[in-house]
Amino acid sequence: MAVPHRRSSRYFLMAFAAMVLGIFLAASSAWADGSSGVPNAVPPKGEHEGKNVEQPIEFPHNIHVDINKINCMYCHTYARRSKVAGIPPTSKCMGCHLVIATDKPRIKKLTEYWEKKEPPRWKKVHDVPDFVHFTHEKHLKRFVFDNEGMSVDRVSEVCAFCHGEVKKMTVAHKVKPLNMGFCARCHEANKGPFDCWKCHK
Amino acid sequence: MSGNDINRRDFLKILGWSGVGVAVAGCDRPTTVTLEEGKEEVVAYLQPEEYVIPGVGVWFASTCQQCPAGCGVHGRVREGRVLKMEGNPDSPINKGKLCQMGQAGVQGHYNPDRLKKPMLRKGGVLDEVSWDEALAALEQKVGPASGLAGDRFAWFTGTVSGHQSVLLSAHLAAMDSKNHFIHETINNAVVRAVNQDMLGEAMPRYDLPAAKMVLSFGADLVGAGASPVHFSGEYAKFRTGSLRGVLVQVEPKMTLTGGSADLWVAIRPGTEGVLALGIANQVLLGDEVKIAGLPDNIRTLIAGYDVEKVAGITGVTGDRIMRIAKLLKDRSPSLVLAGASVEGHAHGYQSAAAIMVLNIVLGNIGKTILPSGSSPFPQMEAKAGGTRDLLALADAADKKALDVVFFHGSNPVYTAPAALGLADKLKNIPFKVVFAVHPDETAMSADLVLPILSAHEDWGTHMGVYQPEQKSISIQQPLMERLYPDTRGFGDLLLALLKARQVKEYESFADYYGYLKNAFAALPASVKGDAVSDEDFWGKSLQKGVLNIGTVAGALNPKMVEISFPEFKSDAQQYYLAPSARLGLWDGRHANLPWLQEAPDQISKVVWTSWVEMHPATAAKLGVKEGDFVKVTSAQGAVEAQVYVYKGIHPQVIAVPMGQGHEEYGRYAKGRGVNPLKILAPVTDAKTGELALYGTRVTVAQSGRREVLVKLMGSETQLGRKMVGTVTASVFDRTEGTKNVT
Amino acid sequence: MSLDNILTNWSRYRKGAEEGGFHEYEHQWGMVVDLNKCIGCNACSVACYAENNLPVVGEKRCGKNQAMNWLRIERYWDEPDLAPYEAIPTANVDAWIEGNPPAKKTELKPSMPSSYLPGLLEQDGQSFEQRVGFDGTKSEFQDFGASFLPMMCQQCHAATCEPVCPVAATYHTPDGLNAQVYNRCIGSRYCSNNCPYRLRYFNFWSYYEDAWPEPLHMQLNPDLSVRDKGVMEKCTFCIQRIRVAKDKAKMEDRKVIDGEFSTACVQTCPTGALVFGDMQNPESQVSKLWSYHQVERGKTKQNKENKELRGYRILEGLNTDPSVLYLERVREV
DSSP for B669-703?
TBT-S--GGGG----B-TTT--B-TT--EEEEEEE
Q: How much is the pLDDT for C110?
A: 32
Q: Is the pLDDT of residue B677 over 90?
A: yes
Instruction: Decide if C137 touches A, using CB distance below 8 A.
Output: no
**Which DSSP state fits B721?**
S
Contact residues, C window 140-199, toward B, CB-based 8 Å cutoff = 140-149, 198
Q: Name residue C33's amino acid.
A: V
Q: Binning pLDDT at 50, 70 and 90, where does residue B365 land?
A: very high
Are the C-beta atoms of residues B730 and B717 closer than 8 Å to each other? no
Instruction: Decide if C89 touches B, using CB distance below 8 A.
Output: no
Instruction: Decide if B6 touches A, using CB distance below 8 A.
Output: no
Q: How much is the pLDDT for C5?
A: 64
Q: Is the pLDDT of residue B286 over 70?
A: yes
Instruction: Determine how many CB atoms are found less than 10 A away from the CB of residue B398.
Output: 16
Q: How much is the pLDDT for B22?
A: 32
**Which DSSP state fits A175?**
-
Nearest-angstrom CA–CA distance, A67 and A57: 19
Nearest-angstrom CA–CA distance, B708 and B629: 10
Nearest-angstrom CA–CA distance, B459 and B479: 10
Q: Binning pLDDT at 50, 70 and 90, where does residue C97 land?
A: very low
Q: Is the pLDDT of residue B256 over 60?
A: yes
Instruction: Give the DSSP per-residue string, B235-288.
Output: HHHHHSSSSPPEEEEEESB--HHHHT-SEEEE--TT-HHHHHHHHHHHHHTT-H
Are the C-beta atoms of residues B12 and B19 closer than 8 Å to each other? no
Q: Name residue B303's amino acid.
A: A
Q: Do B228 and C41 touch (CB under 8 A)?
A: yes
Q: What is the pTM of this model?
A: 0.87
Which segment of B167-171, C49-53, C117-121, C163-167 scores lowest on mean pLDDT? C117-121
Q: Is the pLDDT of residue C224 over 80?
A: yes
Q: Is the pLDDT of residue B5 over 50?
A: no
pLDDT in tens, B126-181: 999 999 999 999 999 988 888 888 889 999 999 999 999 999 999 999 999 999 99
* Residue C133: φ, ψ to 5°: 90, 15
**What value does the mean pLDDT take over residues B629-655?**
92
Nearest-angstrom CA–CA distance, A116 and C311: 64
Count CA within 13 A, CB hemisphere, residue B305.
29
Q: Is the pLDDT of residue B268 over 70?
A: yes
Are the C-beta atoms of residues B681 and B636 closer than 8 Å to each other? yes
Q: Shortest CA distance to A83 belongs to which of A130, A139, A43?
A: A139
Instruction: Give the DSSP per-residue string, B549-574.
Output: ---B-------------PPP---TT-
Q: Do A198 and C243 touch (CB under 8 A)?
A: yes
Q: Which helix (H) or strand (E) holds B352?
A: helix B348-362
Q: Which residues contact C98 (CB under 8 A, 6 or more apart)?
A: C131
Contact residues, A window 144-173, toward B, CB-based 8 Å cutoff = 173
| Closest chain C residue to A194, measured at CA | C2
pLDDT in tens, B571-616: 767 899 999 999 999 999 999 999 999 999 999 999 999 999 998 8
Nearest-angstrom CA–CA distance, B445 and B439: 10
Q: Shortest CA distance to C326 belongs to which of C30, C28, C35?
A: C35
3 state DSSP class of B139: helix
Q: Is the pLDDT of residue B4 over 50?
A: no
Q: How much is the pLDDT for C3?
A: 64
Higher pLDDT, B545 or B37: B545
Please report which residue ranges of C173-316 form alpha helices under DSSP H: 190-194, 239-251, 264-268, 285-292
Q: Is the pLDDT of residue C196 over 60?
A: yes
3 state DSSP class of B455: coil
Are the C-beta atoms of residues C230 and C203 closer than 8 Å to each other? yes
Q: Binning pLDDT at 50, 70 and 90, where does residue C6 land?
A: low
pLDDT in tens, C15-73: 655 554 555 678 899 999 999 999 999 999 999 999 999 999 999 999 998 999 999 99
Q: Binning pLDDT at 50, 70 and 90, where does residue C117 land?
A: very low
| Closest chain B residue to C128, measured at CA | B617
The helices-and-strands tally (H runs, E runs) of chain C is 10, 11
Q: Is the pLDDT of residue B319 over 90?
A: no
Instruction: Give the DSSP per-residue string, B299-339.
Output: HHHHHT--HHHHHHHH---HHHHHHHHHHHHHS-SEEEEE-
**Partner chains of B (3+ C-beta pairs under 8 Å):** A, C
3 state DSSP class of C7: helix
What is the pLDDT of chain B when averaged over all its residues? 88
* Residue C199: φ, ψ to 5°: -120, 20
Q: Shortest CA distance to C2 belongs to which of C225, C241, C201, C179?
A: C179
Q: How much is the pLDDT for C84?
A: 37
Q: Name residue C34's amino acid.
A: D
**Which DSSP state fits C322?**
-
Nearest-angstrom CA–CA distance, B47 and B80: 13
Q: Do B320 and C112 touch (CB under 8 A)?
A: yes
Nearest-angstrom CA–CA distance, C216 and B592: 12
Q: Do B37 and A11 touch (CB under 8 A)?
A: no
C-alpha torsion sign, points A71, A75, A76, A77: positive
Please report which residue ranges of B110-240 form alpha helices under DSSP H: 131-142, 162-174, 189-199, 228-239
What is the pLDDT of chain C when averaged over all its residues? 79
Q: How far does A155 lie from chain B, in Å, by closest CA?
A: 20
Nearest-angstrom CA–CA distance, B127 and B119: 5
Q: How far does B280 lie from chain C, in Å, by closest CA?
A: 18
Parallel, antiparallel, or unpaired: how do β-strands C329-331 and B653-655 relate?
unpaired
Q: Which residues contact B408 (CB under 8 A, 6 or more apart)?
A: B155, B156, B157, B158, B434, B435, B436, B452, B490
Nearest-angstrom CA–CA distance, B223 and B520: 34
Q: Shortest CA distance to B227 belongs to which of B264, B254, B249, B257?
A: B257
B295 CB burial (10 A radius; 0-12, 13-18, 19+)? exposed
Q: How much is the pLDDT for B13?
A: 34
Nearest-angstrom CA–CA distance, B391 and B397: 10
Q: Do B26 and C226 touch (CB under 8 A)?
A: yes
Phi-psi region of B103 (alpha: psi -120 to 50; beta: other; left: phi over 0): alpha
Instruction: Decide if C138 touches B, using CB distance below 8 A.
Output: no
**What value does the mean pLDDT take over residues C260-287?**
93
Instruction: Give the DSSP per-residue string, B521-538.
Output: HTS-HHHHTT-SSHHHHH
Alpha-carbon distance values, B392 to B169, B182, B189 (Å): 19, 10, 15
Are the C-beta atoms of residues C134 and C88 closer than 8 Å to each other? no
Whether the link from the prior residue into B333 is cis, omega within 30° of 0, is yes
Q: Shortest CA distance to B167 belongs to which of B376, B406, B438?
A: B406
Instruction: Decide if C184 touches A, using CB distance below 8 A.
Output: yes
Q: Which helix (H) or strand (E) holds C78?
A: none
Nearest-angstrom CA–CA distance, B134 and B488: 12
Q: Which helix (H) or strand (E) holds A93?
A: helix A90-97
Q: Do A196 and C223 touch (CB under 8 A)?
A: no
Mean pLDDT per 10-residue section of chain A, whose length is 201 residues? 41 43 40 47 79 89 91 91 88 91 91 91 87 90 86 88 89 88 88 87 81
Please report which residue ranges of C198-321 form alpha helices under DSSP H: 239-251, 264-268, 285-292
Which of B6, B29, B58 to substitute to test the interface with A, most A CBs within 10 Å? Answer: B58
Instruction: Decide if C130 touches B, using CB distance below 8 A.
Output: no
Angle at B258 between CA B232 and CA B566, to 5 degrees: 120
Q: Which residues contact B679 (CB under 8 A, 6 or more apart)?
A: B417, B418, B577, B632, B633, B634, B636, B637, B638, B639, B696, B698
Q: Which residues contact B565 (CB under 8 A, 6 or more apart)?
A: B273, B274, B347, B350, B351
